[in-house]
Structure 1
Amino acid sequence: MEYQATRDRVETYFDRTATKTWERLTSDAPVSGIRATVRAGRDQMRDVLIGQLPDDLTGARILDAGCGTGALSFELAARGADMVGVDISPQLIDIALKRMPDATRGTMTFSVGDMFNPALGTFDHIVAMDSMIYYGADDIARILDGIAPRLNDNIVFTVAPRTPLLMAMWRVGKLFPRSDRSPTMIPHHPAKIATKTKGHLRELTRVNSGFYISQALEYRP
């Protein structure tokens, strides 16, 4: 129930409140100084996650879980991957479809839905950049272990690290009226998530770029 409630809040936020913001943030359009640090951080984190996958992805089936406007999917498709991009926001999927490069149209699909729906099938790799940052450790562990039987290699994903700055932002965010809140990121100690999973969790690079702070992790069954 907690997973479903969080997913519904995230869907409402991205589909009704923040669509234009994310469309601009994930483009080349000018943005404010604060958002520029977020854009730079996300670009850096995308490179970190891609770096955990083989250079040659020809024939590999990869899930971009919470694909948003598709930037990560486009890069992996260009390296030969058979991409499946899924997001709960129809608005963001529409943007991804419009931005899809002609050269990759035969190697990727985008759809609206739960990013870990079993009907999506089996994957060689899964990438989930900033799409699990709103969930608690128990939910994250259930997600990882639940998809393990359909995973041939690894999941690379991000969480919000439990730093003093993020904890302060988390506490301040809880003071806003509920109607004004974006979905609240839940800061984590990766070691705590590791104790709740049946697989193997490894800490990767942490990215600090102004208002973007994110920890990359790798999970293997």
Structure 2
Amino acid sequence: MPAYDQTRARVEDYFDRTATKTWERLTSDAPVSRVRETVRAGRDRMRKLMLSRLPEDLRGARVLDAGCGAGPATIELAERGAQVVAVDISPQLIDIARTRLPKSLERQVVFHAGDMFDPELGQFDAIIAMDSLIYYTADDIGVHLAALEKRTSGPIVFTVAPRTPALMVMWYAGKAFPRSDRSPVMIPHAHPTLAKAAKAAGVRATLRPVDRVTSGFYISEAMEVRG
């Protein structure tokens, strides 16, 4: 498996070179294909699920939206009163998120294009990472969860691609394409493997599965680290 830095560079190149327009449209109200409608619906359900793991009233809380994309969760967190640090690897997606943020919420959000794990981002009361860890190995996820846990007083809620037969077929099919033609390939994970990797990396709190969302081609599982 590629090391974290190599995977991160590939993800950054993919989103800024190929996928920005796709994600801009997918995360808007613009018409999309039936397949992408299922993905949009699935992502909406997953975002709602993840945000339900945080308090409704977030006034006074500092929350990291790790891999914020075009910013839909950032807006909802700020509407609940949170001070949000919205980070994405793609500067172009950060520009879209900044443009979409209502002016009434601007004082509550700081945008940052770069590594969502950068320790310079500081301490947090909660972290959400929706579909931003799906390209990384269990060991890499465990190491970064351990580092984030030391900087977070509350829950860390994130998603992975669950290790299902359908996703494994897509995973192996994706590896058959020439490397230059591939999008970053999701790495499916099972909860026991991730929990073992997290514990080995030094995560003290329990890593729990929350729920799974399946909507057409969108299959994602929410998990959380919570004491």
Aligned to 1:84: 85
SS in structure 2 at match of 1:114: coil
Matched with 1:126 is: 127
Shift of 1:117: 0.4
Counterpart of 1:217? Answer: 223
Instruction: Name the structure 2 match of 1:188.
Output: 189
Alpha-carbon displacement from aligned partner over 1:153-183 (angstroms, at most 9, x marks no partner) = 1100000000000000001001111111000
Q: 2:118 and 2:219 mapped to 1: Cα distance?
A: 28
Matches within 5 A, 1:130-169: 130-169=131-170
- Map residues 59-98 of structure 1 onto 2, 5 A cutoff: 59-98=60-99
One-letter amino acid of the counterpart of residue 93, structure 1: I
Cα distance in 2 between the residues matched to 1:112 and 1:14: 12
SS at match of 1:147: helix
Query: How high is the sequence identity, in percent, across the aligned residues?
Result: 62
Q: Name 1:102's counterpart in structure 2.
A: 103
Shift of 1:66: 0.6
My pick for the range that moved more, 131-140 or 96-105, is 96-105
Equivalent position SS for 2:155? strand
Question: What CA distance in whole angstroms lies between the structure 2 residues aligned with 1:147 and 1:206?
Answer: 23
CA apart distance, 1:196: 1.7
Which amino acid counterpart does residue 90 of structure 1 have in structure 2? P
How far apart, CA to CA, are the structure 2 residues paired with 1:122 and 1:35? Answer: 36
Structure 2 counterpart SS, 1:182: coil
- TM-superposed deviation, 1:109: 1.1
Aligned match of 1:116: 117
Structure 1 moving runs of 4+ over 2 Å:
none
What is the DSSP-based 3-state SS (H/G/I as helix, E as strand, rest coil) of the residue aligned with 2:220?
Answer: strand
Provide, for residues 21-57 of structure 1, a one-character-per-residue CA deviation record: whole Å limited to 9, x for no partner. Answer: 0000000000001100000000000000000000110
Is it true that 1:205 corresponds to 2:211 in the alignment? yes
Counterpart amino acid of residue 174 in structure 1: K
Structure 2 residue runs without a partner (length 5+): none
SS at match of 1:36: helix
Given residue 109 of structure 1, which amino acid in structure 2 is its aligned partner? V
CA–CA distance in 2 between the matches of 1:191 and 1:39? 28
Partner of 1:16: 17
How many residue pairs were aligned?
A: 221
The structure where strand makes up a greater share of residues is 1
3-state SS in 1 of match to 2:54: coil
Q: How does 1:51-62 map to 2 (within 5 A)?
A: 51-62=52-63
The separation in 2 between residues aligned to 1:21 and 1:149, in whole angstroms, is: 35
For 1:67, the aligned partner's letter is C
Residue identity matched to 1:219: V
Could you tell me how far apart the structure 1 residues matched to 2:196 and 2:176 are?
31
Relative to the length of structure 2, the TM-score reads 0.96
How does the TM-score come out when normalised to structure 1?
A: 0.98
CA RMSD of aligned residues (A): 0.9
Letter in 2 for 1:3: Y
Gaps of 5+ in 1: none
Instruction: Please tell me the residue identity of whatever aligns with 1:127.
Output: I
Give, in angstroms, the shift of residue 220 of structure 1: 2.6
